[in-house]
Homo-oligomer: A and B are copies of this chain.
Amino acid sequence: MQNFDYQTPTRLLFGKGVIEQLPEVLGAIGKTVLLAYGGGSIKKTGLYDKVLSLLEGFTVVELPGIQPNPKYDPSVLDGVRLCKERGVDVILSVGGGSVLDCSKAIAAGAKYDGDPWDLITYKVKAKAALPIVDILTLAATGSEYDCGGVISRTETNDKIGYIDELLFPVCSFLDPTYTFTVSKKQTAAGCADAMNHIMEQYFCEDSTLLNDGFCEAGFRSLMINTKRCLENPSDYTARAEMMFACTLGCNGIYALGNSPSGWPLHGIEHALSAYYDITHGEGLAIVTPRWMKHVLSDRTVDRFVKYGVNVFGVDPALPKFEIAEQAIERTYAFFEEIGIPMHLRDVGIDESRIDEMARHVAENEGLENAWVPLFEADIAKILRDSL
């Protein structure tokens, strides 16, 4: 078991109707609120009107239109400018992980005099950040319970994970009913994203019985509940459990004390969605079984055996490599069953930029230090196998 230093100050308000506490939570922080949101689905569902009615008495500055794989330009830059010009006290992020990730970059940028890109690329360490409160509408990224975000810069094909302990949300409002209207596509992609967050912690050199049990419970819970959500999008219990399993995804709690894996799946996928702006969870799901096959070896097989037996119920009496291969096949089959396109060409990616992406990943993601080290040729092979 590895040493760790862990602290998550975020308050979680979970369940139907918790939004009624929004004025109290925001009121304790300040009066001028940057209301950040996405493409307008919250207007269709009525959540936008509900939030505005609860914000009566606050000064509301709106930042609409934040896109998936949120963009440095214009969203982060616009948000920072608005916060500075209007003296924003607190950012209220209403949406999924993209809106929240963007809000985190804005929160840090708003308290910094220079180019916010300095912070995102760690050239400068943030000294302060605006407080963030979020209302989650999509179960996926876990950004509501961590201090990181991912920001894309289109002109350089960069998609950068930005982590700073100043960026834990003060309070996350998690009402599963807000996810009833999430499409099948996004429900499945959210599941794949969260499954991958757990995989990035589970597939490592040194873990504990406790953590393995936590992770395996996460996998099983996500798989069963996602299928229930797809069958009946208004199944409160399934939406609730899926939401919470996702919320814990990037917080560390699934595997405190495990050795670091290097997060290879995210490292590879970030290039896919940076170059092609695809849905992050879909990119992860496509890469996952190909990565698994690539890294399966005498050294790693026991880990895949444990995964196969405890997550998929594969017969432990089978030969080890057969269990591992079944586990990989069943991972693929699960993603396919929930409707994820399982080939890169299905999401509009062909061979043309594979080598370029592989080089970008090899140069920027540090995967030579991953659980199973990955170099440019490995990454290119995994991407080709994913076509």
Contacts and interface: CB of A to CB of B under 8 A. Distances in A.
Pick from A216, A221, A253 the residue with the most CB of B within 10 Å. A221
Interface in A169-202: 176
Interface string A1-32: 11111111111111111100000000000000
Interface in A354-373: none
A12 B17 contact: no
Interface in A337-369: none
Nearest to A11: B7
A43 interface: no
A134 interface: no
Contacts of A10: 7
A10 B209 CA distance: 24
A218 B210 CA distance: 6
Contacts of A217: 209-210, 212-214, 216-217
Interface stretch (A49-57, A152-160, A236-244, A319-327): A236-244
A218 B10 CA distance: 24
A93 interface: no
A137 interface: no
A225 interface: yes
A209 B237 CA distance: 11
A224 interface: yes
A9 B12 contact: no
B210 A213 contact: no
Nearest to A206: B237
A138 interface: no
A208 interface: yes
A58 B237 CA distance: 52
Interface residues of A, number: 41
A256 interface: yes
B244 A208 contact: yes
Contacts of A213: 213-214, 216-218, 220-221
A15 B224 CA distance: 35
Nearest to A253: B253
Contacts of A16: 3
A64 interface: no
Contacts of A15: 1-4, 257
Given A14-B257, A253-B253, A256-B14, A241 B6 contact: no
A216 B13 CA distance: 25
| Nearest 7 interchain pairs by C-beta | A213-B217, A3-B15, A7-B11, A210-B221, A1-B240, A209-B221, A6-B12
